[in-house]
A and B are shown apart, each in its own frame.
Chain A
Amino acid sequence: MKHWKPVWLIALNFVREQRWPILVLQLSLLGLAALGLLADVQRDRDDMLLMFKQLGMYGVAFSVFFGGSAIYNERRSRRILAVLGKAITRRDYLSGLLLGVALAAGLFCFVLGFTGTWTLGGVGFSVPYLWYLMICVLVACVLAASVALFYSTYLNPWMSALLTGLTLAVPGIVAFQFGERWGYILPVYNLMRVFIQASFEHRAISGGWAILVALVETVALWLAASWVFGRIDVAVAVD
């Protein structure tokens, strides 16, 4: 329990440090929703759903960038030294960063869900199903961020984003070629497929296993990242 307080402090600090991009993201969601409502919502509801799905995909991309740059930014600015100079393990530190990305992604999914309820819910999209989709997106975001965080323990943000993209894409390509079960290797694809295939008619909840596997893999990646990060010389210049 005593480990949770610094983890929570680091997570809140991460969100605070990233407040401007997070705020811009939320405002853009609200702005797009407002624009959507100005249109003929009944006639353009399929377009709105398409945009909603696109925004969900952006959430995963932003999570990758947040996860992939968190350590690098802290090391480059050398602010990491004052934090790790306290009674904090490297694992606690990474937990804080991952929780911070999860909070940012959670906020994004909440606002996306809120605007979706506001716009799509008004034209017949099942609201409970929409919030289930938000959970799928959030879990996908956290898993993608944990992959990026793992790579970022020893790579710069661009390399870690590139490798994360490849790592997330390969199970998707394999699943596309050889069957959905292969996607469970790293189920970001499976989770986002549930989201992308959503329609006004489709209401059946699926992807429960993908959520479970994603959560287990997130923990595994966090442990692996902690192990690697525990062996890194954090005071060495990253540039």
Chain B
Amino acid sequence: MSAVLEFQDIHKDYRSLFGRRAVRALDHFTLQVEAGEIFGFLGPNGAGKTTAIHLAMGFVRPTSGRGLMFGKRLGHAATRRRVGFLAENVALYHRPAETLVRFYGALNGLTGEALSRRTREALGAVGLMQESSRNVAKFSRGMLQRIGLAQAIVHDPDLLILDEPTSALDPLARFAVRELLLDWRRRGKTIFLSSHLLSEVELVCDRIAVLNQGRLVRLGRPSDLLESREQFEIVAQGIPSDSIPNAHKEAGDRVYFQVGAQEQRSLIERVWSLGGEVVSVSPHKRSLEDLFLELTRDGSSTKAAPEAAKERA
């Protein structure tokens, strides 16, 4: 697979007017988003997610480093014809929904019948066809987010960059957007999705990156990331449940317990010495929320992804 979006060792500092104070928003930020994947971009507030997205769109310039989008430098205007973008806080002009989506479609070069057709399709895809003549000034926040999504997809882009696309949506609308994203992936499109809704990210994303304090701290497939290498779940049978600390009995005579990687071997030997049998040993599955909290709760876990990967190896 080829990368549609690349960040190569990017630093981004925001400076005050006379450059006396600088805030580092991104630090050695390197990432590749492959064609055809849904890529989840996670991080606490202020981690640098929106800065990375704004760099990708060419709204801000890197202090150092470079990036590519479809092989062209970030900010290349003609390349954005292949990109749909939805900002975190949707801010659009106040006019009827259909007129608005037509305006953004026309800005991306659509004309005539294609523009009319794509406008209707985009409004239909986000469930706003019935509201097409209503002024967006009268829309609720959720509807605004949906009209924002419509303007992002009106020109049928190959890459969708979505910054918190479902934060204001009710569960039904959220489900509809999720289905839309999955449908887009089936059509070979790429989606770069920043979200705080971890369950949603876990459900739809092929790969996830976690950013903290401007540094990439984890990158990988959800299944790989959520499997703990430090904690294992062991299922044994033929032993009393009180023979192992923190073990519990569930169905039948099976005993379940969780151990750290260090004690794994000694506990398995203990099961055998008690005359029991080990049924399974599997890495403990964390939730994405557990992983997110572990990576972002304190400064100690903000090692860059390559360092963290080295350590895990």
Interface residues of A (CB under 8 A from B): 2, 5-6, 9-10, 13, 16-17, 77-79, 81-89, 92, 231, 233-236
In the complex the two chains form, what is the Cα distance from A186 to B16 in whole Å? Answer: 32
21 chain-A/chain-B pairs, Cβ below 8 angstroms = A6-B106, A77-B91, A79-B93, A82-B87, A82-B90, A82-B104, A82-B148, A83-B104, A84-B58, A84-B59, A85-B57, A85-B80, A85-B87, A87-B78, A87-B79, A87-B81, A87-B109, A88-B77, A88-B80, A233-B54, A235-B54
* CB <8 Å contact, A89 and B87: no
A88 cross-chain contacts in B, Cβ below 8 A: 77, 80, 107
Given A231-B61, A235-B60, check contact A85 B83 (CB 8 Å): yes
Find chain A residues with CB under 8 A from B85 CB: 81-82, 85
Enumerate chain B interface residues (CB-CB to A < 8 A).
Answer: 14, 50, 54, 57-61, 77-81, 83, 85, 87, 89-93, 95, 103-104, 106-109, 111, 148, 151-152
Q: Is the CB of B80 within 8 A of A87?
A: yes
Find out whether the CB atom of B93 lies under 8 angstroms from the CB atom of A13. yes
B139 to chain A, nearest CB (A): 15
On chain B, the residues within 8 Å of A16 by CB distance are: 93, 95
Chain A positions within 8 Å of B106 at CB level: 5-6, 9
The distance in angstroms between the C-alpha atoms of A89 and B103, with both chains bound, is 17
> A9-B106, A86-B108, A87-B81 are contacts. A79–B92 as well, Cβ < 8 Å?
yes
Residues in chain B near residue A235, CB distance under 8 A: 50, 54, 59-60
Of B61, B79, B87, the contact of A81 (CB 8 Å cutoff): B87
A residues less than 8 Å from B152 (CB atoms):
85
Nearest CB in chain B: distance from A170 CB, A: 25
Contact A236 B14 (CB under 8 A): yes
A2 touches B109 (CB 8 A): yes
Residues of B within 8 A of A85 (CB): 57, 59, 80, 83, 85, 87, 152
